[in-house]
Structure 1
Amino acid sequence: MTGRPFPRRRRQTLHFLAQIRAVAPVFLDTEVDMGGVLSHRDRARQVGTRYSLVTYVLHAGAQVLAKHPQANAAIRGALRPRVAHYEAVNAKLALDRTLDGQRAVLSAVLPDLADTDLDGIQEQVSHYRDGDAERMPEFAGVRRLQGLPVPLGRLAFRRFVGPLHRRNEVFGTFAVTSLGHRAVDSFHSVGGTTVTLGVGRVLPRPVVRDEAVVVAPVMRLSLSFDHRVIDGAEAADVLTEIKDALESYGGAG
């Protein structure tokens, strides 16, 4: 067996994983009745508007994080830890893209989502999903990083994302990653933010409504949180409120 050089188009992932080693993740999950979301999306399609499921998660997550400033935060340092609480809610969205024929994860930061409606969020999601990652100016920094030797790239990445005041611009204040387009029910991810949401697929499952068991479209939603920043009770509140927000779109069913 012979080794090959690490793929250049995945170097940013290597640097990112090295940077977040200090994170102390704890994992939670729940099930969300997506009947209301799907009904809302179907009604939107009838008037020519298309929303992705991740857009609803981004919208609900941003609204909830705005109500939980302790979770909309970041930490840095071991001997002298410092915590920054951010006024804006910026979401980091993980994207599966292809660069020079190499499959890679790219991340886009969507700013000020607490003050952005579904249409505005969908516009940003579509921009990043449909754009040419080889040419988009938003990914110019990543393309430059990929061209650096690994040791130099790691140093550059660390220096760029190190300052707390810059974290919300580079990592966002919460992260969302979805694998629901494939046969993935649930998973847990660490996105470098205090709160990371993992979105699985929607499947018909038994649920209880009005004391009767019915079949409904259910999505498993996970939340990982950095225990250095918040505790489990706060994280449980955040996940529960996101679940409630998603189930409130037009009422389930």
Structure 2
Amino acid sequence: MPQPKGRSLPLSGPRRFILDMMHFARQVPSVPVGRAMRLGPLAEARAGHPIRPSWSVLFLKAFGMVCEAHPELKRALLTVPVPRLYEHPYSIAALAMEREHEGEPCVVVGLFRAPERQSIAELQKALDEYRSLPLDRVGFFRQMLRISGYPAPVRRFLWWSTLHVSGPKRAKRLGTFGLSSYGALGAESYHPISPLTTTLTYGPIDAEGRVTVKLIYDHRVLDGAQVARRLKDLEAALLGPVLEELRRSSGAVPDIREEAA
């Protein structure tokens, strides 16, 4: 009997986007640092909140606060015309999410400007729009599809110039930090790579709020001890101002005994 033959498939626009991003991500000497966190009070407040915000929204806001307090997290290495560090005045979060394009599952990126200055409800609304609007109605998605249609040398030049020449353009087009997680699927990414200076990721969060959170960083820009301290600050932000906002916006009254502890 004749053996079945394989088939060749053309690369879609979203797949070319991932190929280009990985081409530059693997040039970054990134290192992961992890911290085991106990977020029980936050998990409880989230479960009882009227809009039950995404965990990604809570992490975006908390890490934005940490970046605001520690400007070195908003830096990136530029190389043209000379090697230097650029520090953006505010954070822009780049959240990876799964969508569908022409019947094919794909990864797209939603940008959230200064998440620390937005309410949880505002961030959740933006996330819902990123998840539901047609790709051609979202500016960043539309730009991604357009650029992915260019010939490879043109695409690679645009990526290279965005990453290495202008700090403001780099931040505006790609963000200052990334967030990617499979926690909701019961899985964990051990070392995601990205062309950005920092990428936040977390695994499954159990009923008691226990989770391992990792921050992958560009060792040319940051050092491990800095990153370890910032993970501690992240936990404090999640269990401090982010938790307080959740309770306040849901009408819950904080437990004074718990706060004193």
Same fold (TM over 0.5): yes
**Structure-to-structure mapping, 1:67-82, within 5 angstroms:** 67-77=69-79, 80-82=82-84
Of 155, 158, 162, the match for 1:156: 158
Deviations 1:148-185 (A, max 9, x none): 23233222333344422211112211111111121214
Secondary structure of the corresponding residue to residue 38 of structure 1: helix
Amino acid at match of 2:66: V
Q: Which has the higher strand share?
A: 1
- Matched with 1:188 is 191
Question: What is aligned with 1:213?
Answer: none
* 8 A Cα contact 2:31 2:218, kept in partner: yes
Out of 26, 31, 47, the position equivalent to 1:26 is: 31
CA offsets, 1:175-209, max 9 Å, x none?
A: 111111212145322332211101211125xxxxx
CA-atom RMSD, angstroms?
Answer: 2.3
Query: Where in structure 2 are there 5+ consecutive unaligned residues?
Result: 1-5, 245-257
Aligned partner (choices 200, 204, 208) of residue 201 of structure 1? 204
More helix by share: 2
Task: Map 1:28-177; keep pairs closer than 5 Å.
Answer: 28-45=33-50, 49-77=51-79, 80-162=82-164, 163-177=166-180
Which residue among 193, 212, 218 is the counterpart of 1:220? Answer: 212
Deviation of residue 240 (structure 1)? 1.2
CA contact (8 A) 1:188 1:223 kept: no
* 1:238 CA displacement: 1.1
1:243 maps to which residue? 235
**What are the superposed Cα offsets for residues 197-253 of structure 1, whole Å, 9 maximum, x if unpaired?**
01211125xxxxxxxxxxx2312211101110011111111111112222342669x
Q: So what's the TM-score if we normalise by structure 2?
A: 0.83
**How many residue pairs are counted as aligned between the two chains?**
239
Amino-acid identity (%): 25
Native 8 Å contact 1:186 1:220 kept in 2? no
What amino acid is aligned across from residue 27 of structure 1 in structure 2?
Answer: P
Task: Return the letter of the residue paired with 1:130.
Answer: S
Is 74-83 or 55-64 further displaced after alignment?
74-83
Which residue matches 1:178?
181
Q: Deviations over 1:114-155 (max 9, x none)?
A: 211212211211111222224333321111122223233222
Residue segments in structure 1 that go unaligned for 5+ positions in a row: 205-215
Q: Which moved more, 1:219-228 or 1:131-140?
A: 131-140
1:57–1:246 contact (8 Å) kept in structure 2: yes
1:38-69 residue CA offsets vs partner (Å, 9 max, x unmatched) = 22113322xxx231111110111000011111
Provide closer, same or farther for how the CA distance between residues 102 and 22 of structure 1 changes in structure 2, counting only shifts above 3 A. Answer: same
Q: Tell me which residue corresponds to 2:250.
A: none
For 2:220 and 2:167, locate their aligned partners in 1 and report how far apart those are by CA, in whole Å. 15
Letter aligned with residue 188 of structure 1: H
Q: 2:13 & 2:47 partners in 1: Cα distance?
A: 41
CA distance in 2, matches of 1:43, 1:3: 49
TM-score normalized with structure 1 length: 0.85
Structure 1: how far apart are the matches of 2:101 and 2:111? 19
Distance 1:32 1:185 in 2: 15
Give the AA of the match of 1:198.
Answer: T
Provide the rounded CA distance (Å) in 1 between the counterparts of 2:37 and 2:214.
10
User: What's the offset of the Cα at 1:22?
Assistant: 3.0
Give the letter aligned to residue 235 of structure 2.
K
